[in-house]
A and B are shown apart, each in its own frame.
Chain A
Amino acid sequence: MRPPKRLRRKAKSFVLLGLCGVAVLLMLAPLASILFTCFANGAGAITPAFFLKNPPSACNPNLGAPCPVGGVADAILGTLLLVALASLIALPLGILGGIYLSEFAERPLARPARFLADVMTGIPSIVIGVFVFGIFYFFAEEGWISSFSVISGYTGAVALAVIMIPVVARTCEEALRLVPISIREASLALGIPRHRTILRIVLSSARGGVLTGALLAVARAGGETAPLLLTAGFTTGTIFGLSGWTPSLPVLIYEFSAGGYANTTQLAWGAALILVLMMLVISVGARLALRNRFGGRSA
């Protein structure tokens, strides 16, 4: 005997909605597993030496001699330098671009600039790496730079900047658009020049949103690997500035992931732990900052 139709429909509803709940659990599982394995495998590597020393040369523990674990000091330094230079290029350009898109939206460049910035954010980051490598390769062919400088920290920083610029510009534009027109009109009516109105009044009212966008772009640049693999290279030696091959935490994780040596693998996990924690802190911080700002205003 078949159960009554109403009952069957209710059972179907129950089962399908239950599956939706299961889907949520399945979506949460990978993050939990990633965090767990990073802590389990990486926490042991985080010693003072991790921040002060450089990676040991490849060493096979089966040969008897003990293998030093060492640290990733210059990869940390490299990441900081790369991201700092990239931010120095990308933040002013991106914020000025965002100001143009929002404050001069009726001018002829605004529409194509917005469209192309969106196109740019959709281009895979490894293609950005190929592009920036191509620029510096061209410079070297023309004799403007030494051919040893094609793969260098400067190339890597430019690649990161190219990734950041459209992101910063678009988030800055969105943040500035939230500032009411009346504030601009009030300022201009008081005789305050346009550039002061934009910089002192509009930009400063929207600074929370602009800074959050900038911070997220900086974080994203800090986690990028593929473009740096092609442009900045990697070394386990000491670095002097950005003029030569420049190691970074993400590329170090990749280079050390498949070596099969216990000590370098542990460094890779330690670097992954540091990187993930940094990203999560920035991401959560930005989210809280945005919520306080907009939540407070709309309530």
Chain B
Amino acid sequence: MRGAQQRRTARAFDRAFGWFTVAAAATLIALPLLLVTIVAQNAWPALVRFGPGFLIGKLWDPNLPPITFGASTFIAGTLETSVIALLIGVPLSIGGAVFLAELAPDWLRAPVAAVVDLLAAVPSVVFGLWGLYVLVPYMRTSVDPFLAKYLGWSPLFAEHAGSQSGASILTASIILAIMILPTISSVSREALRATPDSQREAALSLGATRWEATRMGPLAYARTGIFGAAILGLGRAMGETMAVTMTVGNSDNFATSLFDPGQTLSSKIAINFGNALPLERAALVELGLILMALSLLVNVVARLLLRSMTRIGRTTA
């Protein structure tokens, strides 16, 4: 009798507990769906008012009628900064990953890798503060003049009036490059380490030098993984807000030179959201919608690439 009673209570508890976990899983599903709904709904007034022209519009003017908002400057700013960040960050991360995965002795590998990964623990706003007080002055006094002297012939490195403060597209890109180093390098490192030793040994036994063996073995083998890591870094760079807001210069003018101050989707939202009237706020939310679409796209591509990497790893292991 008591046994049956106990079993019934246990079953009731089991069921109740099951419902709690179902509720939590339903929350995981509901949150992103709710997010898309709310963000789209809040952007609706701007979507209706400006239509697809919002994407190519250059002007952002909440004051003079007709009130006009356009996103192209900020879309360009986001793409510019994150792509330049990749151009700087990817070679560095790969070089570092090759050193740590292939060359470094065991006693050096783990601690150095751990320190590199610690960079990911530094809050974005601290990167911004450091950028504002260390990197921006350094860019102004040293890097920008140096680049202008030797590369000034190209419009990318032209100096304009108002572009000599040190806060620029280039500065923000460098900060972003630093911030995505730990992401790219840790994923690349794993991809390199997953290479079977036979790949290295085969190249070495044919008389390849250490570099050639690394290039033909691990680097070729881990190509997909490294590519996925870079795309993952691109996603992080595009969504990054505070460090960029504090170093990009916050100018709504289209930046033609890397020394020009600019603005990204996220920095525009961060700067203007607090003081915006309803229509401008809707336009800012629409910027958020664009940013979300871009980063979702990039993240899905990265995930697919990295998943195909683990599948290859599994079948050959």
Chain A residues with CB under 8 Å of chain B are 9-10, 12-14, 16-17, 19-24, 26-28, 30-31, 33-34, 37-38, 41, 92-97, 99-101, 103-104, 109-110, 112-114, 116-120, 122-128, 130-131, 133-135, 137-138, 162, 165-166, 169, 193-196, 198-199, 219, 223-226, 229-230, 233, 250-251, 253-254, 257-258, 268-269, 272, 275-276, 279-280, 282-284, 287
Contacts and interface: CB of A to CB of B under 8 A. Distances in A.
B64 interface: no
Contacts of B91: 23
Among A13, A30, A287, find the residue whose CB has the most chain B CB atoms closer than 10 A: A30
Contacts of B227: none
Contact of B123 (A10, A21, A27, A276): A276
B165 interface: no
Contact of B209 (A13, A109, A282): A13
B91 to A, nearest CB: 7
Nearest to B94: A23
B124 A225 contact: yes
A138 B93 CA distance: 44
Contacts of A34: 122, 126-127, 130
Contact of B212 (A13, A19, A233): A13
A272 B127 CA distance: 10
Majority SS at the chain A contact face: helix
Contact of B35 (A19, A24, A123, A195): A123
A38 B21 CA distance: 43
Interface stretch (B68-76, B255-263, B265-273): B265-273
9 contacts: A9-B212, A17-B210, A20-B99, A24-B100, A27-B116, A120-B28, A131-B38, A169-B24, A251-B125
A254 B118 contact: no
B89 to A, nearest CB: 9
Contacts of B308: none
Contacts, number: 273
A38 B134 CA distance: 11
A177 to B, nearest CB: 15
Given A126-B288, A130-B269, A258-B246, A33 B134 contact: yes
A24 B95 CA distance: 7
B133 A41 contact: yes
B295 A122 contact: yes
Contact of A137 (B42, B116, B303): B42
A260 to B, nearest CB: 11
Interface stretch (B52-60, B147-155, B234-242): B234-242
Nearest to B269: A126
B222 interface: no
B67 interface: no
Contact of A28 (B27, B116, B120, B124): B116
Contacts of B238: 124
Contact of B103 (A20, A96, A268, A284): A20
B29 A109 contact: yes
B125 A122 contact: no
Nearest to B121: A283
A275 to B, nearest CB: 6
A26 B91 CA distance: 11
Contacts of A33: 130, 134
Interface string B79-97: 0000000000001111110
Given A26-B92, A165-B28, A126 B270 contact: yes
Nearest to B178: A30
